[in-house]
Amino acid sequence: MGFSMCKHLMKAGNQVSVYNRTMSKAQGLIDLGAKASDPISIAKEVDYLYLIVSFPEDVERMTICPQNGILKHMKKGSFIIDHTTSSPSLAKKIEEEAKKYGVYSYDIPVVGGDLGAKNGTLNVMAGGDKEKFSEVEQTIKPYCQNIRYCGEAGSGQQTKLINQIILGHNITGVCEAIIFAYKAGLDVKETINYLAKGSAASTQLSFYFPRMEKRDFEPGFYAEHFLKDLKLAVEECDRMGIKLKNLELVTEMFDVMCKEGFEKKGHHGLLLLLEKMNKLKAILVKNWIFNKLLGR
């Protein structure tokens, strides 16, 4: 996602320096004119520093780690914009540290996956200083279609976790419905497409069912990263003193999915786990004919 987001920034006329732990992944940007650099050098030079990595520990190591953290090297009055889905409490901790150096910190996780990043149609939710947010908003517009300021530091992360709770429930329901329809001997495609016209409709159903039908489980984002998000939501529930049993169950399912070897599939690859658990393969294309032939 970071590659495409950075490409949009360059198309908008910005001078860009880039770093990736695997620099070959940034070569396409370098070929377009981006400057290859290292985190500390970038921190010293830029007015806006964008970060998108995998896990909260990566964010912490990159920003406030005593040895390699970049915040202490950033210019006074500059901005750090973290697009990683991470911990709300960590976002607050980073902002507190950033203030010591006169740096403005914003947690701005994104929704839309690889396709949204490529098309410049990401939805973002931001937490941080409201007075300076208009400046941040202008810088991220090249790759966003919807931008919402959510409140103080950590609010962007909390809003993203709410999104992931809804998404997790929806995709689990879609996958379980497919297994149920298949085992009942119904035409899965006809049944699901019909129900998608009513109150069962969802983005998860309309966007991911056609991919599952084709047995396309390649990721827009990895299941292991989605599991990370769900675990962060459970941790935030614990911090707030609430119990969300469905969230806990969905998290357990994705934990099993990753342990069963499907961690690099898309989150809709949960269907593969359910097939394995039920010892069947829901052949979606013309599956009704297969069911009849097999006497199911």
3-state secondary structure the chain: CHHHHHHHHHHCCCCCEECCCCHHHHHHHHHCCCEECCHHHHHHHCCEEEECCCCHHHHHHHHCCCCCCCHHHCCCCCEEEECCCCCHHHHHHHHHHHHHCCCEEEECCEECHHHHHHHCCEEEEEECCCCCHHHHHHHHHHHEEEEEEEECCCHHHHHHHHHHHHHHHHHHHHHHHHHHHHHCCCCHHHHHHHHCCCCCCCHHHHHHHHHHHCCCCCCCCEHHHHHHHHHHHHHHHHHHCCCCHHHHHHHHHHHHHHHHHHCCCEHHHHHHHHHHHHCCCCCCCCHHHHHHHHCC
Residue 160 known to be catalytic: yes
Catalytic one of 7, 160, 228, 265: 160
Active-site residues, by number, are 160
